[in-house]
Amino acid sequence: MSYSPGRENETIFFAAWNSTDQNLPSRTSGGSLDWNNTYDITLELDSTLNDLVSTENNVVKNSEGLEAYYLGDLRSTTSNTSGELNYYNIEFKDTKMSDQNYVIQDQRVPQADDTCCSVYTSAELKIKKVYRIGGNTISPYVRIIGFIKE
């Protein structure tokens, strides 16, 4: 469930995003198995669509403190002129799911696989595993698909 930047007001349910580009660090080389796990980049989120959702210090929460199913999206551009693609993952800081659910971003063109998901009381979108990275973000996005009531 990817999205198109500029269509934030058309999203389903509740969402938070940042329409301002965020500069990403630059890493343009690495062998085929050379994954660098030392990154801990928080993706900036500053706008919300609904008063049931808030952002504080780039953490998305719902007003009732309920657990929710979160879906995160990110696109990025690269200024690397050598043809290298950004190749990294996005994930949420915390989840109660049995597995951290993320997909490695394999192209920097709009794809349906540039998402991650989590079940938790809040959502902080991160970049941690990096092979190659550079450029800047385009509208990082977190959707709350549903709340979990006990």
Residue 3 lies in a domain: no
What distance in Å separates the CA atoms of residue 44 and residue 126, rounded to the nearest whole number? Answer: 9
Report the pLDDT value the prediction gives residue 109, as an integer from 0 to 100.
45
pTM score, whole prediction: 0.79
Give the burial class of 41: count Cβ atoms within 10 A of its Cβ; 0-12 exposed, 13-18 middle, 19 or more buried: middle
* Mean confidence (pLDDT) of the chain: 77
Yes or no: say if 20 and 8 are a contact pair by the CB < 8 Å rule: no
CATH of the domain at 126: 2.60.120
Query: Which whole number is the average pLDDT over 121-149?
Result: 83
Residue 65 is given by DSSP the state -
Domain assignment present for residue 42? The answer is yes
Q: What is the pLDDT of residue 125?
A: 92
Domain region containing 23: 8-148
Query: What is the enclosing helix (H) or strand (E) of 69?
Result: strand 67-77
pLDDT class for 39, splitting at 50, 70, 90?
A: confident
Tens-place pLDDT, residues 40-96: 999 999 888 877 788 899 999 887 788 888 888 888 877 655 555 677 888 899 888
Residue 2 lies in a domain: no
Domain count for the chain, please give it. 1
What pLDDT sits at residue 102? 62
Domain contains 99: yes
Amino acid at 126: K
| CA–CA gap between residue 79 and residue 77 (Å, rounded) | 7
Q: For residue 81, how many other CB atoms are within 10 A of its CB? A: 6
